[in-house]
């Protein structure tokens, strides 16, 4: 088979994959490879169309599983294997799966295997108020009564998840800076598909010029938006398990939104249309990207299986400046 190397000057796209790219609600860990291969096909299709692609991904279910495993198997290690280490472990775990699946899909289509994963640190403020108010969902879905029992034994905090059941919540400070930004830019400039800022990146604080990991999980959509702005992306797309952004989601009056200006999106966000634990950060991330990048840039939110159509505006919700 002849292998081609595609050098592209096409639009630079940051593609943020939701947790459903690996595990969907009700699925076990054994379904991950099937889901990742589906995502890889969508990513490589975009590359064939001429897009330069940087991939980010969620890690909520996986980082939660790691912490749960540690607590069940070796409780005495829980204080040493901290949440930042669990976040780095999932970047390697999920980055490896994406890197292999994307590379295999490239080779199947006769394209050069040029894909790399960067274990990424993201700077946060150690005084961020989020540390006093955990809101980020991680881990498995539980019956809320079972979650209350686990909370009594572990001291963990659980809250109802908008998708049903209860899940553990942890602090989610705002991302400020992508530490490995220069390496990511150089790989993009060499026409690599880059997997970076997995799970929002490993949260770190800077103290006297030294970085230190902290117990938190950064929202991957806000971190992906920061990365997209920092590398000068043209398009920022969040792929999830819903086909549009909705108003009155889950109610008889729910309505899909196909086009949103940043001012409309901000108004609806302030009105509480987009919950903080689900669609809220996605809309906020889209607003921040579009407002920072100017008139020619846009963001989109849609279903993973419809990635190309979402990117090109035929499906999903498009967010533009205005």
Catalytically annotated residues: 19-20, 136, 220, 282
Q: Minimal CA–CA distance to 308: which of 18, 53, 94, 20?
A: 53
Minimal CA–CA distance to 166: which of 175, 176, 156, 174? 156
What H or E segment, with its residue span, contains residue 122? Answer: strand 121-123
**CA-CA distances (angstroms) from residue 7 to 103, 121, 182, 311?**
16, 28, 20, 20
101-140 burial, b for 16+ CB within 10 Å, e for fewer? Answer: bbbebbeeeebeebbbbbbbbbbbeeebebbeebbbbbbe
Instruction: Check residue 208 and give left, alpha or beta (phi > 0: left; psi -120 to 50: alpha).
Output: left
């Amino acid at each position: 088979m002849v292998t081609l190397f595609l050098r592209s000057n096409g639009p630079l796209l940051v593609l943020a994959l939701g947790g459903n790219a690996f595990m969907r609600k009700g699925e076990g860990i054994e379904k991950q490879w099937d889901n990742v291969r589906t995502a890889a096909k969508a990513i490589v299709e975009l590359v064939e169309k001429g897009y330069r692609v940087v991939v980010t991904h969620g890690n909520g279910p996986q980082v939660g599983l790691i912490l749960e495993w540690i607590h069940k198997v070796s409780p005495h290690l829980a204080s040493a294997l901290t949440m930042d280490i669990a976040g780095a472990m999932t970047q390697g775990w999920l980055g490896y799966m994406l890197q292999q699946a994307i590379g295999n899909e490239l080779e199947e289509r006769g394209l050069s295997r040029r894909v790399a994963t960067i274990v990424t640190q993201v700077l946060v403020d150690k005084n961020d108020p989020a540390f006093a108010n955990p809101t980020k969902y991680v881990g498995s879905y539980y019956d809320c009564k079972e979650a209350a029992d686990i909370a009594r034994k572990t001291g963990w905090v659980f809250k109802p998840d908008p998708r049903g059941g209860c899940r553990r919540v942890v602090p989610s400070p705002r991302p400020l800076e992508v530490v490995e930004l220069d390496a990511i830019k150089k790989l993009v400039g060499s026409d690599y598909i880059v997997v970076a800022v997995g799970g929002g990146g490993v949260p770190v604080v800077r103290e006297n010029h030294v970085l230190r990991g902290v117990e938190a999980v950064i929202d991957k959509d806000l971190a992906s938006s920061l990365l997209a702005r920092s590398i000068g992306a043209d398009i920022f797309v969040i792929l999830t398990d819903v086909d549009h952004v909705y108003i009155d989601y889950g109610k008889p009056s729910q309505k899909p939104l196909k086009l949103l200006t940043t001012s409309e999106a901000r108004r609806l966000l302030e009105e509480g249309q987009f919950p903080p634990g689900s669609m809220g950060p996605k809309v906020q991330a889209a607003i921040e990207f579009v407002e920072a990048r100017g008139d020619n840039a846009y963001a989109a939110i849609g279903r993973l299986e419809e990635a190309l159509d979402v990117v090109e505006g035929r499906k999903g919700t498009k967010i533009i400046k205005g």
